[in-house]
């Protein structure tokens, strides 16, 4: 096959690559003078197997030929020679993603997301048109000179039957196959989502999520084991990608993204965009000022100052409350309040003064204040004037009960140690706290908390704890 000069009507220009299923050629279509890529498929089958193959080959190739998407390599023609079938497709100037990864180039996180989003969008389009790829892997993703990702080999992966060893080389690449493919069960678009998740994992970490010394070991891991989170293998990977990859690689199809569009949407979420471009300026602070002003207004009994607080930022609140911006009506009410203070004090004194008490000079002695004292608030005047006669010194006021300082209360913490196998998303009181591992310790305020550990493949583990200050409690759980 390597020395062929012609395949069907196509004139071979050069060999582009060779794999277990056949050889890829660069060729020319003399009829319309177009450069094409021709992929040959070995047909070492019995007569019965070949008849079944031909039927499925043309049916699937015809379905894939209807696909017209910027991120899918277009299929032009199908045919067969004496010992091989072939498919003529769009020729792409560039290299495969497999070649890019094998070259040792470390792709930036943003570039990885761009490739994954383009592949997910192409898969969503294909699935909507009833075509499932079933062999998504780096070798089947072309990166063009314009940096676009294009999926190759649509319509080929499903062509042979999955019950024969020879067909297994075409059915899918073991390291990227979904569990249902490994088990020989019916597959749909969610198998492609699993394969894309495995490919995303490799782009993030440089390693495939499932590897082994032989095919059986790889398939066993796909069926039974969870890979380590990408951030554990590559510290540059933000934890949000751990959750995205974990959902795409869920063992059960129903636990994965329901479709490739949702997968693409997850890769373009605000949380992902925030870690891809952390230099974005923060949101304006006006919203926080308004919230603080509203909370302050809800506890303030003076309606005159509410509008002033909303208009000023938090650091100026105290000054604003003392600003002489009161209206004439407000001044009148405040003057009345100031006059009422001595009147109330005098009325309280006269009501409690004994008839035979000392002359009015004693009244001045009863309300004198030492130098440096401040004038008491109205609430403090009444008990001061109601004190016993000067001949009987008043009893000392009881000391207020000792209170724990706010700083000491805030510094009190409890520690929660985590030992989760193989991994789990940790939620504290319904809020995401991280993924364990790598998360192994949490500092929480003392008190009751609900801890929930989630793994998309297993039932959630939930436990309620009541932590005391400085307590160190351990939660150990293994998903089975």
Active site residues: 135
Could you count the other beta carbons within 10 Å of the beta carbon of residue 164? Answer: 12
CB 453 within 8 A of CB 461: yes
Q: CA 103 → CA 95, 99, 107, distances in Å? A: 11, 6, 11
Rg value, the chain, Cα: 38
- Rounded to the nearest 10 degrees, what angle do helices 328-352 and 378-385 cross at? 10
Cα 416 to chain centroid distance, Å, stands at: 23
CA dist., res. 146 & res. 225, Å (int): 38
Nearest alpha-carbon partner for 81 in 10, 148, 136, 169: 10
| Cβ-based burial of 283 (10 A; exposed 0-12, middle 13-18, buried ≥19) | exposed
CB 86 within 8 A of CB 8: yes
Which pairs count as long-range contacts for 166-173, CB under 8 Å and 24+ apart, including other chains? 166/44, 166/45, 169/20, 169/21, 170/21, 170/41, 170/135, 171/134, 171/135, 172/134, 172/135, 173/135, 173/137, 173/139
DSSP H or E run through 453:
strand 447-454
CA dist., res. 480 & res. 478, Å (int): 6
């Amino acid at each position: 096959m390597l020395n062929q000069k012609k395949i069907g009507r196509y004139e071979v220009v050069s060999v582009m690559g060779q794999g277990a299923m056949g050889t890829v050629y660069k060729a020319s279509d003399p009829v319309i003078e177009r450069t094409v890529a021709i992929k040959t498929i070995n047909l070492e089958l019995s007569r019965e197997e070949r008849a079944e193959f031909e039927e499925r080959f043309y049916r699937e190739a015809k379905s894939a030929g209807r696909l017209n998407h910027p991120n899918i390599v277009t299929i032009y023609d199908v045919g067969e020679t004496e010992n091989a079938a072939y498919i003529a497709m769009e020729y792409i100037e560039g290299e495969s993603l497999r070649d890019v990864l094998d070259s040792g180039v470390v792709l930036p996180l943003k570039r990885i997301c761009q490739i994954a989003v383009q592949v997910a969008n192409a898969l969503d389009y294909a699935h909507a048109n009833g075509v499932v790829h079933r062999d998504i892997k780096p070798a089947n993703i072309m990166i063009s000179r314009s940096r676009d990702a294009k999926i190759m080999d649509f319509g080929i992966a499903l062509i042979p039957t999955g019950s024969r060893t020879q067909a297994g080389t075409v059915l899918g690449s073991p390291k990227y196959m979904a569990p249902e493919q490994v088990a020989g069960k019916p597959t749909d678009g969610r198998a492609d989502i699993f394969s894309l998740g495995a490919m995303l994992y490799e782009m993030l970490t440089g390693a495939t999520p499932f590897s082994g010394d032989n095919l059986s070991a790889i398939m066993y891991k796909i069926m039974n084991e969870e890979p380590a989170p990408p951030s554990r293998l590559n510290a540059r990977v933000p934890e949000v990608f751990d959750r995205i990859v974990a959902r795409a690689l869920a063992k059960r199809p129903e636990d994965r993204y329901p479709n490739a569009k949702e997968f693409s949407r997850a890769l373009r979420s605000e949380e992902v965009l925030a870690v891809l471009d952390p230099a974005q300026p923060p949101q304006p602070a006006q919203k926080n000022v308004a919230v603080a002003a509203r909370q302050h207004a809800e506890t303030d009994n003076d309606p005159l100052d509410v509008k002033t607080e909303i208009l000023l930022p938090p650091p100026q609140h105290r000054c604003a409350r003392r600003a002489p911006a009161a209206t004439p009506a407000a001044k009148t009410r405040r003057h009345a309040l100031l006059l009422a203070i001595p009147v109330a004090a005098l009325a309280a004194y006269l009501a409690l003064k004994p008839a035979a008490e000392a002359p009015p000079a004693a009244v001045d002695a009863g309300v004198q204040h030492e130098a440096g004292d401040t004038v008491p608030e109205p609430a403090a005047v009444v008990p001061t004037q109601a004190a016993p006669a000067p001949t009987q010194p008043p009893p000392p006021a009881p000391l207020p009960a000792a209170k724990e300082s706010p700083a000491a209360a805030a510094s009190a913490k409890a520690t929660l140690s985590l030992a989760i196998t193989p991994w789990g998303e940790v939620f504290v009181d319904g809020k995401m706290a991280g993924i364990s591992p790598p998360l192994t310790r949490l500092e929480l305020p003392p008190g009751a908390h609900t801890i929930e550990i989630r793994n998309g493949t297993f039932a959630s583990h939930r436990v309620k704890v009541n932590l005391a200050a400085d307590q160190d409690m351990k939660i150990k759980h293994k998903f089975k």
